[in-house]
């Protein structure tokens, strides 16, 4: 996958995760507690200051009740 496309996919994923969190009324601090991280961890990946590894991505998806595979599939379509 070309670098620009990969960045576009991750941008879409970050945005969808943030919107899902907000739509559920979950704060960054609450999400961080659910996944065993600090609030700054959530803030940094949501604002593209850091990236998610696979395990953290799955943990965030699980906490937000989002299918990781569907999220990736939808991101690749856009």
Confidence category of residue 15, pLDDT binned at 50, 70, 90: very high
How many Cα neighbours within 13 Å face the side chain of 70? 7
Query: Residue 9 belongs to what H/E stretch?
Result: helix 3-23
Q: Is 1 a residue whose pLDDT tops 60? A: no
What's this model's pTM, rounded to 2 decimal places?
Answer: 0.88
What's the pLDDT at 7? 85
Radius of gyration of the chain (CA): 12
For residues 17 and 60, the answer to whether their CB atoms sit within 8 Å is yes
d(CA 74, CA 69): 9
Q: What is the mean pLDDT of residues 38-56?
A: 95
Query: What's the mean pLDDT when you consider all of the chain?
Result: 93
Domains and their CATH numbers in the chain? 1-72 (1.10.260.40)
Instruction: Classify burial at 69, counting beta carbons within 10 Å of its beta carbon; exposed 0-12, middle 13-18, buried 19 or more.
Output: exposed
């Amino acid at each position: 996958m070309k670098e620009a496309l990969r960045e576009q996919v991750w941008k879409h994923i970050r945005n969808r995760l943030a919107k899902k969190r907000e739509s559920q009324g979950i704060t960054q601090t609450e999400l961080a507690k659910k996944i065993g991280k600090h609030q700054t961890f959530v803030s940094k990946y949501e604002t593209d200051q850091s990236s998610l590894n696979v395990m953290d991505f799955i943990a965030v998806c699980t906490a937000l009740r989002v299918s990781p595979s569907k999220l990736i599939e939808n991101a690749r379509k856009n």
